[in-house]
């Protein structure tokens, strides 16, 4: 987990009620959302703390690991090289998986907390095409401000509007988008609304982690 204080409604990666299986959470000191999102490449000073926290979770019984920020995709190779259990750093890892399921002429689009900061390194680390369409919520009034400013209150109705507007922009600019991946681990609470509104598959960190856990522990993923 990044070091944050903003609210985490049900559906958020950091809310235990999101998960149908037991979870353990631990914070990486000094790994703030602003620090991670505004870095173009992995911060070497944070890699060892992430590894140390991960080993603590593994010692406590964790059988697979995820993170609380999709911008950690560039850490994927380093973490899998140093940890003995499966690691999924980012919902972005789903982009090539989902692309393989789409009809001809359709591709995956990404919604992120800040489109100006999601760069080629993040997409490449996830195996996503460099020309993947991306839209962010930085133009909205709530979600970007709260998450990167680490606010203590969140208007979920306003955040939902930000999400709806971001997907609408994505589809307006790229009408060939046939599915959406939400980069930000705080966006899954709005995925059901997006599916209903736009009639497209929407994937996020919750869909990715449920897939990972089902493979690792089988029926225990559904029967804690």
- The pLDDT tens digits for 66-79 are 999 999 999 999 99
| Any domain includes 5 | no
Asked whether residue 11 is assigned to any structural domain, the reply reads no
Residue 43 predicted with pLDDT over 90: no
Q: Measured between alpha carbons, how far is 177 from 101 in angstroms, rounded to an integer?
A: 13
Q: How confident is the model at residue 18 (pLDDT cuts 50, 70, 90)?
A: very high
**What pLDDT digit, counting tens, does each position of 90-114 carry?**
999 999 999 999 999 999 999 999 9
pLDDT digits (tens, 9 = 90+) for 116-153: 999 999 999 999 999 999 999 999 999 999 999 999 99
Say if residue 101 is in the same domain as residue 197: yes
Whether residues 76 and 63 fall in one domain: yes
pLDDT digit string, tens, across residues 173-202: 999 999 999 999 999 999 999 999 999 999
State whether 133 and 212 are in the same domain. Answer: no
If asked whether residues 70 and 125 sit together in one domain, one would say no
């Amino acid at each position: 987990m990044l070091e944050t204080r903003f609210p985490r409604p049900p559906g958020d990666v950091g809310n235990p009620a999101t998960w149908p299986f037991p979870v353990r959470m631990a914070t990486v000191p000094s790994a703030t959302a602003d620090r991670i999102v505004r870095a173009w490449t992995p911060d070497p000073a944070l890699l060892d703390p992430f590894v140390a926290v991960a080993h603590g979770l593994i010692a406590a019984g964790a059988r697979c690991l995820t993170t609380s920020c999709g911008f950690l995709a560039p850490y994927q190779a380093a973490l899998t090289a140093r940890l003995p259990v499966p690691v999924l750093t980012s919902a972005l890892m789903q982009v090539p998986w989902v692309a393989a399921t789409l009809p001809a002429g359709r591709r995956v689009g990404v919604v992120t907390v800040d489109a100006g900061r999601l760069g080629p390194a993040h997409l490449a680390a996830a195996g996503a095409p460099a020309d993947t369409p991306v839209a962010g919520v930085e133009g909205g009034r709530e979600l970007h401000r709260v998450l990167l400013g680490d606010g203590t209150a969140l208007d979920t109705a306003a955040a939902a509007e930000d999400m709806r507007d971001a997907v609408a922009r994505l589809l307006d600019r790229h009408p060939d988008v046939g599915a959406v991946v939400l980069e930000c681990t705080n966006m899954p609470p709005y995925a059901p609304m997006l599916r209903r509104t736009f009639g497209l598959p929407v994937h996020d960190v919750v869909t990715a982690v449920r897939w990972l856990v089902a493979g690792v522990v089988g029926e225990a993923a559904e029967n804690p």
